Amino acid sequence: MLFPDSRGRRLRATSNFRRMIRETKLSCDDLILPLFAIEGKDVKKPIESMPGHFQLSCDHIVKKAKQAHDAGIPAIILFGIPDKKDPLATRAYAPDSIVQKAVREVKQKVPDICIITDVCLCGYTDHGHCGVVENGIIDNDASLDLLAKTALSHVRAGADMVAPSDMMDGRIGEIRQTLDEENFSHIPIMSYAVKYSSAFYGPFRQAAESAPQFGDRKTYQMDPANSTEAIREATMDIEEGADIIMVKPALAYLDIIYRLKQEIDLPIAAYNVSGEYSIMKAGEMMGWVNAKDLIMETLLSIKRAGADLILTYSAIEVAMELKNQ
């Protein structure tokens, strides 16, 4: 039917009409809040590149987790800034290290929130790469054991889910096997399966103090030019035992989210990464845009593309906004 018989504006005329025919809805249930844990007591160190976010000691991590839970957010994801870095990332899998401590405290004090841990080595190696380095080369197979040990130590501390973000080949299988052998077959793995080598991670690397000290991550993270490769990566991780497939970053990769949603049958998570967050906050500080409106629209578009879950630094603000609506 064509105009004047059909008029698209009829059902846009009132907020009730708009509510009634809205196709995509954001919900608190979709949100995962990333937090950065650091050693010490009562530490709340602002992350300059990410306004509104802090490196938090465990007491403050617990407070944030409580705030997230009260706002209706089901899960947090924890990153750690260790007290020391070395070539073998020993603080990634030491039982008394920062993420393990943060997990134990949150588990004890906010037992009803789901605790996910980011499993990677880049924040814990002195060279800042996500795997072990041999003669200047990132050694895939030598990294697997350390990644599995890291995941296991998080789960032993009480993590409800692990999220490997390193992009080494075979790590999902290795982690799954290790967890199964240690009687953690019930713990799900959210794989950063489709993780691009992206300039949008810039602010995060300041937050997590995890920038590579030489070279870049192009030999393990994906080329932004590739889409079919995303299917290959996701398929491999599914075969190895992944329970949730993540696409990262989100906004410049909505086509990838959409495509994966059509082609795979696992829940899809999207990471609305640090650069996406900081650009919007910066734009607001310049007085040029309204960050809250931008964030709501962005998250809605990520959901519309097909994401079931969204990791976002704006989770608490968004949850409160959703409550008010």
As annotated, the active-site residues are 195, 248
By CB under 6 A, tell whether 279 contacts ligand PBG.
Answer: no
Contact partners, residue 112, CB within 8 Å, separation at least 6: 69
For residues 152 and 201, which CB has a smaller minimum distance to ligand PBG in the complex? Answer: 201
For residues 204 and 253, which CB has a smaller minimum distance to ligand PBG in the complex? Answer: 204
By CB under 6 A, tell whether 30 contacts ligand PBG.
Answer: no
By CB under 6 A, tell whether 191 contacts ligand PBG.
Answer: no
d(CA 56, CA 35): 8
DSSP 122: T
Shortest distance, CB of residue 156 to ligand PBG, whole angstroms? 21
145 burial via Cβ count (<10 Å: 0-12, 13-18, 19+): middle
For residues 93 and 201, which CB has a smaller minimum distance to ligand PBG in the complex? Answer: 201
By CB under 6 A, tell whether 140 contacts ligand PBG.
Answer: no
For residues 201 and 253, which CB has a smaller minimum distance to ligand PBG in the complex? Answer: 201
β 75-81/137-139 pair status: unpaired
By CB under 6 A, tell whether 201 contacts ligand PBG.
Answer: yes
- Strand, coil or helix: 291: helix
26, 106, 122, 309: which one contacts ligand PBG (CB under 6 A)?
Answer: 122
By CB under 6 A, tell whether 273 contacts ligand PBG.
Answer: yes
Shortest distance, CB of residue 117 to ligand PBG, whole angstroms? 11
Interface segment toward ligand PBG; rule CB under 6 A; list 51-59, 101-109, 118-126, 176-184: 118-126
For residues 22 and 129, which CB has a smaller minimum distance to ligand PBG in the complex? Answer: 129
Interface segment toward ligand PBG; rule CB under 6 A; list 138-146, 199-207, 224-232, 299-307: 199-207
By CB under 6 A, tell whether 204 contacts ligand PBG.
Answer: yes
24 burial via Cβ count (<10 Å: 0-12, 13-18, 19+): exposed
Residue written as tokens 């889409």?
A: 227
Burial profile 150-180: b = 16 or more Cβ within 10 angstroms, e = fewer: bbbbbbebbbbbbbbbbbbbebbbbbbebbe
By CB under 6 A, tell whether 45 contacts ligand PBG.
Answer: no
β 190-195/161-164 pair status: unpaired
130, 152, 155, 161: which one contacts ligand PBG (CB under 6 A)?
Answer: 130
7, 17 contact by CB (below 8 A): no
Compute how many residues bind ligand PBG; rule: CB under 6 A: 11
Contact partners, residue 143, CB within 8 Å, separation at least 6: 121, 130, 131, 132, 166, 168, 171
Contact partners, residue 231, CB within 8 Å, separation at least 6: 259, 260, 263, 264
**Which residues 211-270 are close enough to bind ligand PBG by CB under 6 A?**
217
Q: Name the residue with the smallest CB distance to ligand PBG.
A: 204
d(CA 229, CA 140): 19
Shortest distance, CB of residue 47 to ligand PBG, whole angstroms? 11
User: Where on the chain is the footprint of ligand PBG (CB under 6 A)?
Assistant: 118, 120, 122, 130, 165, 201, 204-205, 217, 273-274
